[in-house]
Structure 1
């Protein structure tokens, strides 16, 4: 114990004195558990890259499969760093990197959910979905994701290089703001779906896109979004709870809670998005810029080809 206390005083960077999600990793059980999750993420990475390459050879561009591949690779890196931390428990820099990576990779899934929700809104409510104010609002939200990421990384690093109580409190306030924003962001797809399917009357000009029914798309997106809200909500609830010393962690700091509410739920979302073939279900014509483009009504006048995009002027 005295050695750990000396390690906490050594620095900078300084080891955290408060309990964190997942606690201090150890060879058992963390290394085997991380290895299993790495295999799962590697399998989904290979699957999504294969889907992307096959689609590209067929002139069917759906770059969101590439984003899922990037998410899987980011998670493999996250788990590799955690294994490194488990085998070098007193390496504070590894601890900082591991905690940062945990909050980073999942942001890709949050963004994908919102992109799909925007497509659903544009299909069900074309006049509202294609209104410039909606596009501007979503761009602001995406910018907020980047700002939240910068805040999380900066506050985590700064907080590890100081012992000043005021600075540490400011870092905590920044983290609270960023984590809360991410939680709010994960709910946005659900609000857009609520607008598209419940709150607004049926639009006579609604369109269809991709393969499968709109109901199946709705179910997939609701499940993915709700799971994302659960992941973000767990992290927000944990950080908003009063800080506890590392020697007296709460249940949500346990390894079981860490792996269940992070990687297990993420693998479920990956399985849902990958195995349901979102590359087919959420495919839209390339260069879609307004009402009628999803269904191809404007194809003769615009000359757009039937390859997917993100619903705006650039391809995905």
Structure 2
């Protein structure tokens, strides 16, 4: 459900409809991205995405548990599991909403889960970007100021989520135009923050590439640093595409639910929410981010990442270099998996 549907400026038609509403909570009167889900169209499509998200959750959690048993703690696999489950719950709530279209509490719950689920993917990509910056320019990447900057961004995202959720919930319990305008302002702020954070990994890594030293670079995990950058840019581009589209639609003048804009169609909803996210989830699973972005436990400064490279070199020397890479045959911890180039 789009942010702009939850609050905003009300025209004469929406104002009259508000006065006739029973509540609280009150149903939103503005058009939203994807509109009201229907049993005939939305339930089959959402069910397919639900299955894909659940399978992705199983895959990432399987990788996490297998690695943990071998002492390879890659918590980002757990975060990706959380990403999948958040989206699974969002799909379930939309299916329930389609079957109970007049239930405002269900509409509210579906809106919240759709709104905040993608944030986990943004945080994962930021973490990957920070690791790559440390490898490209260890002196800058390990500087306390950069660490504090990333911590600030994480805190900003957390605060933005709290504001968005609280103001969105509050907007369902008031008909006061002034309060709904305040809610819209917060939602525009939140969607802008999410769009910037989703795109941030790309320019930060590009700056590190352009300004970092040509010598003294490190590597980590398996595969070349180039492969890590390409995979990160792929994921960040897709998630940023969805975030920027959603932010852009929120800045447009709200329309009544009976007259949505073309950019608020169901096709746009499923493409710029679930499709881009499922592509990232499954690509990260197939290309084994748990091996590719692994860093040694206890890394605290320049040179620590190179410890994982030595293990990769030893693995290559023992004849692992030429093995074919597949997801099903390589559910081993990093020290036992194939080397990827």
Whether the 8 Å CA contact 2:18–2:175 is kept in 1: the answer is no
Normalised by the size of structure 2, how large is the TM-score?
Answer: 0.84
Give 2:285's aligned residue: 274
Whether the 8 Å CA contact 1:148–1:179 is kept in 2: the answer is no
Alignment of 1:124-143 (within 5 A): 124-143=136-155
Whether the 8 Å CA contact 2:53–2:87 is kept in 1: the answer is yes
1:244 equivalenced with 2:266 (yes/no): no
Number of aligned residue pairs: give it.
Answer: 295
Alignment of 1:212-291 (within 5 A): 212-291=223-302
Give unmatched runs, 5+ long, in structure 1: 300-306, 309-316
Cα deviation, residue 296, structure 1 = 2.4
Aligned partner of 1:152 among 138, 159, 164? 164
CA distance in 1, matches of 2:173, 2:188: 19
Alignment of 1:26-37 (within 5 A): 26-37=38-49
Alpha carbons of structure 1 residues 65 and 7: separation in structure 2 relative to 1, 3 Å:
farther
Q: CA offsets, 1:221-243, max 9 Å, x none?
A: 00111111101101101111110
Provide the secondary structure at the position in 2 that maps to 1:192: helix
Whether the 8 Å CA contact 1:7–1:90 is kept in 2: the answer is no
1:183 equivalenced with 2:195 (yes/no): yes
Give 1:115's aligned residue: 127
Q: CA offsets, 1:201-251, max 9 Å, x none?
A: 424221111101111111100011111110110110111111001010011
Alignment of 1:18-97 (within 5 A): 18-97=30-109
Give 1:303's aligned residue: none
Give 1:103's aligned residue: 115
Alpha carbons of structure 1 residues 7 and 24: separation in structure 2 relative to 1, 3 Å:
farther
Give unmatched runs, 5+ long, in structure 2: 1-16, 311-332, 335-341
Aligned partner of 1:12 among 24, 28, 33? 24
Whether the 8 Å CA contact 1:124–1:197 is kept in 2: the answer is yes
Cα deviation, residue 8, structure 1 = 6.2
Whether the 8 Å CA contact 2:136–2:212 is kept in 1: the answer is no
Provide the secondary structure at the position in 2 that maps to 1:257: helix
Give 1:295's aligned residue: 306
Give 1:168's aligned residue: 180
Alignment of 1:187-198 (within 5 A): 187-198=199-210
Cα deviation, residue 113, structure 1 = 0.2
